[in-house]
Structure 1
């Protein structure tokens, strides 16, 4: 177990407290996870403390570094070979070959029914939330956005007021309040001259400036960003309906997630662990890719679903497991 505090390789047999005094949160024998691995997941989600990130993005990193189940086709192949060898063993009267093959077949059945269930339970969102809660009881995660914090106007020295000094060229309406924090705290609003508000009108002090902005630029572009869910597009469209007169001349582009987008990204399937996921949050996409995709949408004027295939989604690109 690598100690997150001093980087010492601490032996499990020496207990759960490192020589430096750090007490390990996770017991690898019970939790199938080490503190060092979880710290690696956090670093991946933040790109080594470069970006703020949400719980959904941390969960994506958690799933991407998870152990992969053995392919069912591989297991079936092993089983067929085992049965074939059993038959040969019986025909030639070899007790050793027969018993060995039966043993392999039993292992196959255990793997087929036990491993996928075990990994599914480990990767479940409930299990992840429990592990995260335990970690945060002991360790801080400075870049993790737990709840919206931009409800009040920022201090003058912060960069947000400056956005009105060089003009807002477009408006981004997101489904969830926390996504406003994600984009603003990572500086996306300044990079793209973009006013970012949620469909709930958060933060209020920015939403109140909409009439002023639209009056100055009646043909302003408005981008809608939402989850793939039964209500995702409905939420942002209700916001548009409530501002129908204000946005009547605006150019509106829906850049949210839809079912066809979800099918393109393999990691989404691992997040939901269902054949037909009912909801995939847009911030399941790591922030660096999310910002890149949305920047492409802005520059090309197309939904970022058209750009999703450019996301190199090698599920195991980071290597490692949680054992």
Structure 2
């Protein structure tokens, strides 16, 4: 493992004999990849994750965004589908030769008593290897600890292994062992593997689980700060500041062209910290009223602009899909107002239509909340969307990096400049009262 201070490569023996310090510069290591609790993370990997999520230390990010980002990196270090294929080809030969040959020595008397050829143990070892790999890779195609692209990769490998079993098994059984029973077994195994591969390749996205926990990440961040200093771009939890902030009267005389409303104070804080409001001449608030100390003043300024456009940015969850309805029906927000509202997402339709994998999770509490949605919210969702939500599925905005969320929001604002154009990717879903648009895709 390389030292991030001086670049010296330290072997496990070096790290152990030097009490977890670099043998050259004595800089302590934060992680020990052989330690199960450290999930094979190295100091270099952790430093690169911090640099990548912050886009080389230029963007602020939330602790939960870092959890998702790091979890994805850790999962990518696990054996890929093509890695399983390489192991399959190796052990297909090794297990057949070594286990089969070793077993034939001790089982020779038993084989002789049943008048079975010595090659029987080799056949059994080979069949056992085929069955184990089909089972193992099939389990990985439906594992909640593996992301959707990797699951599909495993499904492709499962089909390829089935083809290898068919070709190799048919040739071996007919031209070497001259056995019809063996021919049938290999054909069934090969066809099973191909069938399972096709079945899993066409599966819909299934919920995922994190390999690492928030407490683990917090512990690693604390250790990192103790050894390597502060992480300048990670945000603290949003603070509630109730006392109104003093605002220059000259400033309050103006308004904003746009308002971004988030269902999470953490996302609103992240956008503000990254100066999105300055770059796009927009106000940024959360549905809970964050930042509380300027909320009333900001709303007063916003109501002065008759051409205001409101952008909703939220989790794909029962609470998230209720955001726009709350904005339209709450006196705190835009009740009896004709402002244009654009639902950027996340929406179930965007996830269902997405070709790339998203970090879909599932909870029974989310399923119950979806069933309790108000009729006016349910009427705006399709049958497929309601079914998706009522299955307990949800996706959090913080599963996307700061750079990705900013790009998506930028894209939505640009598209809103051509609302009446046929080329617009925004769909008008309600033109009674305040005009309501939704984005076809999330980015």
Q: Scaled by the length of structure 1, what TM-score is found?
A: 0.74
- Aligned positions of 1:88-127 closer than 5 A: 94=119, 97-98=122-123, 100-102=125-127, 104-105=129-130, 107-108=132-133, 111-112=136-137, 120=145, 124-125=209-210, 127=212
Q: 1:288 aligns with which of 378, 382, 403?
A: 403
- Aligned positions of 1:49-128 closer than 5 A: 49-65=57-73, 66-67=75-76, 70-71=80-81, 94=119, 97-98=122-123, 100-102=125-127, 104-105=129-130, 107-108=132-133, 111-112=136-137, 120=145, 124-125=209-210, 127-128=212-213
Q: Please, which moves more after superposition, 23-32 or 95-104?
A: 95-104
| Superposition deviation, residue 154 in structure 1 | 7.8
Q: 2:283 aligns with which of 195, 202, 221?
A: 195
Give per-residue Cα distances to partners, 1:77-119, cap 9 Å, x unaligned.
x69x96xx98xx9998635742651463365267347767998
Please say if residues 261 and 284 of structure 2, whose CA atoms lie closer than 8 Å, have aligned partners that are also in contact: yes
Question: CA RMSD for the aligned pairs?
Answer: 4.2
Gaps of 5+ in 1: 312-323
Q: Please, which moves more after superposition, 63-72 or 4-13?
A: 63-72
| Whole-angstrom distance in 1 between the partners of 2:409 and 2:29 | 39
| Superposition deviation, residue 175 in structure 1 | 0.3
Q: Please, which moves more after superposition, 135-144 or 250-259?
A: 135-144
| Whole-angstrom distance in 1 between the partners of 2:42 and 2:121 | 40
Q: 2:236 aligns with which of 125, 146, 169?
A: 146
2:27 maps to: 22
Q: Using a 3 Å threshold, how does the CA distance of structure 1 residues 180 and 35 change in structure 2: closer, same or farther?
A: same
3-state SS of paired residue (1:224)? strand
Q: 2:296 aligns with which of 198, 208, 211?
A: 208
* Structure 2 residue 48 is matched with structure 1 residue 40: yes
| Whole-angstrom distance in 2 between the partners of 1:38 and 1:163 | 43
1:131 maps to: 216
Please say if residues 171 and 194 of structure 1, whose CA atoms lie closer than 8 Å, have aligned partners that are also in contact: yes
* Structure 2 residue 340 is matched with structure 1 residue 251: yes
| Whole-angstrom distance in 1 between the partners of 2:21 and 2:144 | 28
2:356 maps to: 266
Give per-residue Cα distances to partners, 1:144-188, cap 9 Å, x unaligned.
1231147377899xxx99986974111111101111210011010
Larger RCO (CA under 8 A, 6+ residues apart)? 1
| Superposition deviation, residue 254 in structure 1 | 1.4
| Whole-angstrom distance in 1 between the partners of 2:274 and 2:309 | 21
Q: Using a 3 Å threshold, how does the CA distance of structure 1 residues 212 and 115 change in structure 2: closer, same or farther?
A: closer
3-state SS of paired residue (1:51)? coil
What is the aligned residue count? Answer: 298
| Superposition deviation, residue 297 in structure 1 | 0.9
Give per-residue Cα distances to partners, 1:42-82, cap 9 Å, x unaligned.
2221111110012332233224322355449x77xx69x96
Q: Scaled by the length of structure 2, what TM-score is found?
A: 0.56
* Structure 2 residue 412 is matched with structure 1 residue 297: yes
| Superposition deviation, residue 128 in structure 1 | 3.4
3-state SS of paired residue (1:6)? coil
3-state SS of paired residue (2:290)? coil
1:233 maps to: 321
Q: Using a 3 Å threshold, how does the CA distance of structure 1 residues 154 and 214 change in structure 2: closer, same or farther?
A: closer
Q: Using a 3 Å threshold, how does the CA distance of structure 1 residues 97 and 165 change in structure 2: closer, same or farther?
A: farther
Please say if residues 177 and 198 of structure 1, whose CA atoms lie closer than 8 Å, have aligned partners that are also in contact: yes
Q: Please, which moves more after superposition, 184-193 or 97-106?
A: 97-106
Give per-residue Cα distances to partners, 1:249-280, cap 9 Å, x unaligned.
211111121112223163414x6489966221
Please say if residues 60 and 233 of structure 2, whose CA atoms lie closer than 8 Å, have aligned partners that are also in contact: yes
| Superposition deviation, residue 26 in structure 1 | 2.6
Q: Please, which moves more after superposition, 205-214 or 174-183?
A: 205-214
